[in-house]
Amino acid sequence: MSISLVGMPGCGKSTVGKQLARQLSRPFVDSDHEIEHRIGMPVRAYFEHHGEAAFRDLEQSVIGELCGRGELVLATGGGAVLREANRRALAAAGAVVYLRSTPEELFRRLRHDTQRPLLQVADPLRKLRELYRERDPLYRAAAQYVIETGRPTVPTLVNMILMQLELAGLIDPAQVPATVGRILPPQR
């Protein structure tokens, strides 16, 4: 079973995903980095030269392949949920976790980022709000778990995900570090 992270650009999918994979002793893959490795250029350059539709075709192919690899932690690109085929592949591969951040939180994190192609516009906050309105329902539809990113630290977010997966019976409690709180059955 894979664990896939979905959410807006800059919500922490890669950062949280790396630590989650480390905690579970699983490989970590970032779909955008995998795409860049295959095409030999940054996603932004590919967007500029080939357009978003060509990128989404490539992304769909890569996500489909990654979902077939088994037990890994996968951080998807922010727009991966735009294609129903991606949403189906992620759900079929295992657990999908939506790292939810508000557009305002994302803007604080990303206001100086020049690498995200969809944010290279005159009013990035407005663009984030548009993307959020469009994508939030898709993230929610794709995910079994929604984790509010707000202000928690990365280790706290990882622990929140681990607790949800453990409660759902998707990971062995022995895989969860002792530092994560346990839900114990009531004493009789």
Tell which CATH architecture fits domain 2-171: 3-Layer(aba) Sandwich (3.40)
- Is 67 flagged in the annotation as binding? no
| CA–CA separation, 109 and 11 (whole Å) | 8
Interacting residues of 52 by C-beta distance below 8 A, sequence separation 6+ = none
Do the annotations mark residue 15 as ligand-binding?
yes
Query: 17: annotated binding-site residue?
Result: no
Query: Is the C-alpha dihedral spanning 36, 41, 42, 44 positive or negative?
Result: negative
150 annotated as a binding-site residue: no
**β-bridge partners, 148:** 100
Determine if residue 57 is labeled as part of a ligand binding site: no
Per-residue pLDDT of the chain (188 residues; tens, 9 = 90+): 899 999 998 899 999 999 999 999 999 999 999 999 999 999 888 988 999 899 999 999 999 999 999 899 999 999 999 999 999 999 999 999 999 999 999 988 877 776 776 677 888 889 999 999 999 999 999 999 999 998 789 999 999 999 999 999 988 887 666 655 544 444 44
Tokens of 137: 């329902």
* Residue-range domain boundaries for the chain: 2-171
Q: For residue 18, say whether it is annotated as part of any ligand binding site.
A: no
- Residue 45 and residue 62: Cα distance in Å, rounded? 18
Nearest to 145 by CA among 128, 160, 125, 123: 160
Query: How far is it, in rounded angstroms, from Cα 119 to Cα 122?
Result: 9
Is 31 among the annotated ligand-binding positions?
no
Which residues are CB-neighbours of 34 under 8 A, at least 6 positions away? 62, 66
Q: State yes or no: 69 annotated in a binding site.
A: no
Whether pTM exceeds 0.75: yes
